[in-house]
Structure 1
Amino acid sequence: MLHLESNGSNFQVSKPNFTPKSNLPTIDISHMNACNGLLCLIGSDKYYNFYVCNLILGEFITIQPPYKDRQRGSFWGLGYSTMMDPYKVLQSYYPIAESNNRYVTAEIYIIATGSWRSIGNAPIDIVALPLNAFLNDALHWFSCTPNGTEFIYTFGFNSERFGSPPSARSFSRRS
């Protein structure tokens, strides 16, 4: 990042000096993702909070997951809805940790209102890498099953629906 200052035909370029504030979370980070310059951090323990950080300003908010006999699933992330404006945190979980019922459920935390809302069942997430990307109003992540099948899932923050990106075959070549 550079700071450009002009005075008529004279230009001066300097590097801004950012002084990080010491009040950012200092947890053992196991996962993170970014959206529009904000970072979403989470620790390795299933009971860790989410932290949405603005590193430039040295500010963050803490989002406590509403765990009640739940086991965190393996996908989550920060995103933004261009149609509705708010930033949202998506998380998956297994409803009852001790149950043999292993269906995955998802919920959304809307930062503007400070509340969680269930969005129903989610794709099975046997193994998901701790990487995801926010692109075109959707969170994308890679998952694979025990038999080695690989799949890319998406979650649209405007529609609040799960899906998959179009395959390469669905794109037509233009002459």
Structure 2
Amino acid sequence: MCDDALTEVFRRLPARSLAACRLVCKSWMAVLTDPHFIHEHLSRGQQKLLLFANDRVIDRSLAMVLADDNKSMYQLSRPAASRSVFVHNSCNGLLCLGDSSGAVEVLNPTTGESLMLPMPMYTAGSSQFSSCNWHCLGFCPGTREHKIVHFYPDAHIDSFKVCCEIYTIGAGVWRQVGSFHGAPTDRGVHVNGTVYYLTKFRYIASSRINCLNVESEKFNVMMLPPRKSYGGHCSLTELEGKLCLLVVDGALEGPPRTMDILMLNSDDKQSWTCRYHFSLPWLMPSCYFTPKHTLSHDGKIWVQLLARNLYCFDPSSSSEELMIAWPELDFPFSTHTFIESIVPLRKDYFIKQIR
């Protein structure tokens, strides 16, 4: 089979099949480790929903993917079960993992390849719920590098600055890149080469978003829409490749009733449009409930509510209610958007010569 025909066949195969094909022969390895092929194949991938178990009793850390609307699930490669880990975020099929010691690991669960990073300069323990000490994996479109950004609090107790250090995969060291005013109210989100997070000053939520361009490593500020246009508790997420603001209604008493998804205009990066509006299930216990991850799949919007439930919203339906999409699971989990990929973690994959 000629190289062009073989490459076309590879383009149509899922990433988990290509991971095994790399081991067949040197000519196949040459095609499947070519950076242009890797990123072209990645661009064709479909986002799925990664369910990552948080319960140590349940098989330590079990990574699973919601594959389709038939509710089929399958287990992916997962980290060794010697320690309990959690997912900071996902980018290009890679997972940024952390544990309570502050250690950071990058994993491609499709290929099973992993990379343990050196300990960050700031080594205080972290958790999957920490808003003042967290990591975020990002991608630089221009250089095609992956970087891990680490946000941590300033050493001064009364300071409301957040410090930042960055690790470039393949470089081997953490680098400090400065600090920025405004402590995160929650973990940030990576969208198209930029990390965004909501800020607070002296425990009061502000009306701005801090932004870090992963490639240039420069900070910037973006303003939220006028508070009267949403008025409730909010968090950031990525949906359809764009930055979105998830807003639950601002009721002072009782459970929240509705949620809006405001999408940032990709042209001016300033205006927001209310893309979706739906009713929340009556069982929501607190108006401080803020969902963290959404996913657009097969025309539906998937949302995790509480620790063990998945719901979905169908914009084409006449109903504005968020419906249960998955029965309550037996273990708590976190949700993350995920694309299976063969993106390598070893630098030599990009420079290896096939003899």
TM-score normalized by the length of structure 2: 0.36
Partner of 2:320: none
- The question of whether the paired residues in 1 share the 8 Å contact of 2:122 and 2:152 is answered with no
Partner of 2:150: 91
Cα pair distance change 1:80/1:154, threshold 3 Å: same
Provide Cα deviations, 1:5-44, integer angstroms capped at 9, x if missing partner. xxxxxxxxxx9x8762563774242x5211111111223x
Cα distance in 1 between the residues matched to 2:117 and 2:215: 21
- The question of whether the paired residues in 1 share the 8 Å contact of 2:212 and 2:218 is answered with yes
- The question of whether the paired residues in 2 share the 8 Å contact of 1:24 and 1:58 is answered with no
Equivalent of 1:167 in 253, 256, 270: 270
1:66 aligns with 2:120: yes
Partner of 2:204: 147
RMSD after superposition: 3.3
Partner of 2:68: none
Cα pair distance change 1:22/1:156, threshold 3 Å: closer
Residue 84 of structure 1 and its aligned partner are, at CA, apart by: 2.3
Equivalent of 1:108 in 148, 163, 166: 166
Cα distance in 2 between the residues matched to 1:66 and 1:21: 23
Q: Which has the higher contact order (CA 8 A, sep 6+)?
A: 2
Equivalent of 2:108 in 33, 36, 54: 54
Partner of 2:179: 121
Cα distance in 2 between the residues matched to 1:38 and 1:137: 15
Question: Which residues of structure 2 form unaligned runs of 5+?
Answer: 1-11, 15-71, 127-131, 223-268, 273-355
% of aligned pairs identical? 21
- The question of whether the paired residues in 2 share the 8 Å contact of 1:156 and 1:162 is answered with yes
- The question of whether the paired residues in 2 share the 8 Å contact of 1:34 and 1:133 is answered with no
Partner of 2:49: none
Question: Which residues of structure 1 form unaligned runs of 5+?
Answer: 5-14, 170-175
Cα pair distance change 1:148/1:123, threshold 3 Å: closer
The structure where helix makes up a greater share of residues is 2
Partner of 2:140: 81
Equivalent of 1:40 in 71, 96, 104: 96
Cα pair distance change 1:18/1:75, threshold 3 Å: closer
Cα distance in 2 between the residues matched to 1:80 and 1:119: 17
Residue 81 of structure 1 and its aligned partner are, at CA, apart by: 1.2
Mark the structure with the bigger radius of gyration.
Answer: 2
Provide Cα deviations, 1:104-144, integer angstroms capped at 9, x if missing partner. 3211111111111111122321x4323x3322211222334
Cα distance in 2 between the residues matched to 1:32 and 1:69: 16
Q: Which moved more, 1:103-112 or 1:160-169?
A: 160-169
Cα distance in 1 between the residues matched to 2:185 and 2:103: 20
- The question of whether the paired residues in 2 share the 8 Å contact of 1:40 and 1:53 is answered with yes
Residue 101 of structure 1 and its aligned partner are, at CA, apart by: 6.1
Provide Cα deviations, 1:67-95, integer angstroms capped at 9, x if missing partner. 36868743431111122222111112345
- The question of whether the paired residues in 1 share the 8 Å contact of 2:162 and 2:182 is answered with yes
Cα distance in 2 between the residues matched to 1:69 and 1:61: 18
Equivalent of 1:137 in 168, 190, 193: 193
- The question of whether the paired residues in 2 share the 8 Å contact of 1:70 and 1:95 is answered with no
- The question of whether the paired residues in 2 share the 8 Å contact of 1:137 and 1:156 is answered with yes
The one-letter code of the counterpart of 1:167 is: Q
